[in-house]
Amino acid sequence: MATPDTILFAVRGSSASAGLPPKNISDSFYDRSTIVGLLNNVSKIAFNPDGKLFAVRGAELYRGSMPSNADQDWFSTAKRVGKTNWDSLKLIIFDPQGVLYAATKDGEFYKGPAPSNENVSWLYGEATKVGTSGWRVLSHFMTVSPDGALWCVDSSNGNIYKGPIPTKDDTSCYLDRAEKLGYSYNMYPLMSFTIDKTMLSIVSCEFLPELGKITSQNTEVVQTQIYVNRSSSPLKHTFTFSKTLIEISAFSQDHGFTLAVGAELKFKGGVPFIAETEAKISVNLSTTHNWNFKEENRTQTTFSSSTGVEVPAGCAIRMIASVTKGEMEMPYRMVIRTLFGFKTTIPGIWRGVNHYNLMVTQEDYKP
């Protein structure tokens, strides 16, 4: 049932482990898995198709990203999305469309939308009964594989089955249509399949300037100087300056991945800028920057000029140096490596500023 980024998540005691699913009978998940967090007093777990973990503690249901800190209790950062009745369930699972299924301790089977409001009863206000009896014994482990099949483990003997998901109109028993695929799977207290949504490192990043846009352009004064001539003859001066401006940028964080604890997530790449002559976004590949994906980035641009100034007798002149400040939005395409070694590509938006088009002007000044 594994897909290229599928991982197995298991809880033993309070320790949560994750790793690649076993490929054969001699492939030990226990030996290869990594402890990724703590789930104290958890009784049920399930992952939705987006990789979000739902877990029951007492009568309450919580939702959050897969844990990635071996020393942190997951419940301390998760969001509560249900306050009552979740202790009456024997098991919860999601299908590939994100529909939640639950087996009660009385042997009934329900389906409904994923809970999002802790004040709404899922079991009595949102769910629909699709099975009336016999589900308690099959609920030691249930999951829906990517092909839409329902997997179950019989808690009494550990037999594992694969079969079609029942519907409200089904008249036959699930076991009559299911296929037995193994035994002794009741040795694992809690199990669930999910996708590896923890970002460990950046393999490469490509800016896409041809798809970028300049969202604003404003004039920013960087230096002024006033020259006053109270004499009866012209005076000559030199308006000289050097100014370094800080340009701040950041990468969007709506990629749906959890950042692994301690992950650097840095890469070296070119610097986006606005070409003065065409007023369009380009990337300077001859100058590289060590980009930080998690935090704000700061680059520097220095402007300098030396301009001769002649002030007529009895007059005053103000010299003004200004630049154009352009704000940009530009898509990027990033190849990342996940916690368990998968490579995947994520899109996003880089937002930053660039200063360009230095102009030195003068105007009459009245002291």
CATH number of 80's domain: 2.115.10.10
Q: Are 332 and 320 contained in the same domain?
A: yes
Residues 242 and 179 in one domain: no
When pLDDT is averaged across residues 259-265 and rounded to a whole number, the result is: 88
Could you report the per-residue pLDDT of 278-333, keeping only the tens digit for each?
A: 789 999 999 899 999 999 999 999 999 999 999 999 999 999 999 999 999 999 99
Which residues are 325's β-sheet partners?
Answer: 218, 355
**Could you tell me if 219 and 83 lie in one domain?**
no
What the block records as the tokens of 76 is 């301390």
Instruction: Give the Å distances, CA to CA, from 250 to 28, 44, 55, 194, 217.
Output: 42, 38, 33, 30, 18
Q: Please check whether residue 59 lies inside any domain of the structure.
A: yes
Query: How far is residue 55's CA from residue 146's CA, in Å, rounded to a whole number?
Result: 21
pLDDT at 2 (0 to 100): 46
- Please state, rounded to an integer, the average pLDDT across all residues of the chain: 89
For a pLDDT cut of 90, what percent of the chain falls above it?
61
On whether residue 1 sits in a domain, the answer given is no
- What's the structural domain count of the chain? 2
Q: Which of 263, 262, 266, 268 is nearest to 283 (CA)?
A: 268
Is 318 found in the same domain as 229? Answer: yes
* Amino acid occupying residue 25: I
- Residues 283, 288, 292, 295: is their CA dihedral positive or negative? negative
* 322 in a structural domain: yes
**Helix, strand, coil percentages, rounded to 5, for the chain:** 5, 55, 35
CA angle 207, 212, 214 (to 5 degrees): 130
Q: 147, 180, 196 — which closes off a domain?
A: 196
Q: What is the pLDDT of residues 78-124, one digit of tens each?
A: 999 999 889 988 889 898 889 999 988 888 889 999 999 999 999 88
Q: Examine the domain organization and report whether 76 and 191 are in the same domain.
A: yes
Statement to judge: residues 163 and 217 lie in one domain: no
Range of the domain at 274: 199-364
The pLDDT value recorded for residue 140 is: 62
Indicate the residue type of 281. I
CATH code: domain of residue 353:
2.170.15.10
Residue 100 lies in a domain: yes
Give yes or no: residues 158 and 16 share one domain: yes
Do the domain assignments include residue 119? yes
